[in-house]
């Protein structure tokens, strides 16, 4: 999933106008998928710290709400979608920063960097809204996809190495 996000991010940066139109027409389904995945992950964390469980579940619910809203109102303007995505990036980034500080120190760098990048991208959207909405959304979605994809790949790689090291200890 991380590699796919990186590839899609690069394509969005190369073709920002196409990425904006694509985002406008399809992102609702992607947000629904991520919302369900976040909720599933949140339910898996129910035995972990309560804060992790609640934050992960809340971001899943927010993804679902935004996805349903986009699909329910397909004709609303790209300006509105750009603003909503900016809000989503700030909320997602904030939750990732919080998760980074709750996790183990050696796994903290990439989720923290990804969270900060999401917050910055959200603020950039707000600062240029509505002037550059047609291309800015596609470009920033591409950057966010790349950052999230790299973060997922690194986390998976670190988890795989940790499991291998744990297996060597036995």
List all residues 6 or more positions away from 88 whose beta carbon is below 8 Å from its beta carbon. 31, 62, 63, 66, 122
Pairwise CA distance, residues 4 & 47, whole Å: 30
Output the pLDDT for position 94.
92
Tell me if 157 sits within 8 A of 101, measured CB to CB: no
Instruction: Give the residue among 87, 43, 37 at the shortest CA–CA distance from 66.
Output: 87
Pairwise CA distance, residues 129 & 81, whole Å: 11
Tell me if 66 sits within 8 A of 92, measured CB to CB: no
Per-residue pLDDT of the chain (170 residues; tens, 9 = 90+): 888 888 988 988 898 888 877 777 787 888 889 899 988 887 777 666 667 778 888 888 988 998 888 777 765 667 777 788 888 889 989 988 988 887 677 677 878 888 898 899 888 888 876 667 677 777 877 888 888 888 888 888 888 887 777 776 65
Domain ranges of the chain: 2-169
């Amino acid at each position: 999933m991380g590699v796919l996000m990186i590839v899609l991010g690069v394509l969005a940066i190369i073709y920002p106008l196409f990425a904006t139109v694509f985002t406008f027409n399809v992102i609702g389904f992607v947000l629904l998928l991520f919302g369900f995945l976040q909720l599933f992950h949140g339910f898996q964390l129910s035995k972990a710290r309560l804060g992790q469980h609640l934050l992960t579940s809340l971001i899943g619910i927010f993804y679902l709400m935004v996805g349903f809203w986009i699909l329910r109102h397909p004709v609303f303007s790209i300006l509105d979608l750009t603003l909503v995505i900016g809000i989503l990036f700030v909320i997602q980034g904030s939750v990732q920063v919080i998760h980074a500080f709750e996790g183990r120190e050696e796994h903290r760098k990439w989720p923290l960097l990804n969270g900060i990048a999401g917050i910055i991208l959200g603020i950039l959207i707000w600062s240029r809204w509505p002037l550059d909405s047609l291309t800015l959304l596609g470009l920033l979605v591409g950057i966010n996809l790349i950052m999230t994809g790299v973060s997922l790949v690194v986390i998976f790689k670190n988890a795989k190495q940790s499991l291998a090291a744990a297996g060597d200890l036995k």
